[in-house]
Amino acid sequence: MNRRIDNIRLKNLERLIKEANSAANLARLAKTSSSYISQVRNQLNTATGTPRTIGNELSERLERCMGKKSGWMDLEHEDEPLQSEEFSAPKAKEYARSECSLLPLITWQRAANWPEVHEPRIDYDTEHLLCPVQCGENSFVLEVQGSSMEPKFRDGEMIFADASLKPQNGQYVIAHDLNTKEAMLRQLVIDSGRRYLQALNPDWPDKIIEMGSSITVSGVVIFKGEPV
């Protein structure tokens, strides 16, 4: 792709951000991560040292989600009026919530630090999966490992977690220990103001542990092939 097209696409990206009222709204509409939009917008370097550009796949996503004709991203539109009234903030939010969100599949090591590292280190090379339920911007996907949560969660299953939700009693959460840097899938139990993490497997050692000051929740599980 030549430099001229790269520059035109960058200008058109800024135009679409204005029409969607924010980069976050545009990312939701395009079913991509706001961190990736930010990386492209600021032309952050890739692993090979070259600036990130708007590739054909992202270009087509942006055209489709904003109702533009195919090839719109490659043409200059400086003299055309903005269409921000079509994608006002409330309407864009409603539209985004009606669509599946594209979420990053991360490692358990990354999940242990997710509140701190999710922005802006996720790049478009990370595998993304569609979440068919409403979720927050900082949601993520994990592959279940081990048998601690059987029979409800089995080894190899994909689980979707939302980092923006406040965990409630009985919900399944991704928790991590700040001391050991380990993340785990457990059920949250709140009893008399004290919080515990429970493994569902009756044969699991340390089936219930109390959440001390070193243990925090990275996200609440919202989907695993069926609503949770």
Per-residue model confidence as pLDDT tens digits over 134-170: 888 788 999 999 999 999 999 999 999 999 899 999 9
Confidence at residue 125, expressed as pLDDT on a 0 to 100 scale: 56
3-state secondary structure of 186: strand
Residue 173's H or E segment, with its range, is strand 172-177
Confidence at residue 83, expressed as pLDDT on a 0 to 100 scale: 65
Q: Which of 220, 218, 112 is nearest to 165 (CA)?
A: 220
* Distinct helix (H) and strand (E) counts, the chain: 7, 9
Per-residue model confidence as pLDDT tens digits over 51-105: 888 989 889 989 988 888 999 999 998 777 776 544 444 444 444 444 456 788 8
Average pLDDT over residues 36-60: 85
pLDDT higher than threshold 90 for residue 115 = no
Give the pTM.
0.57
For the chain, which domains are there?
3-95 (no CATH), 103-223 (2.10.109.10)
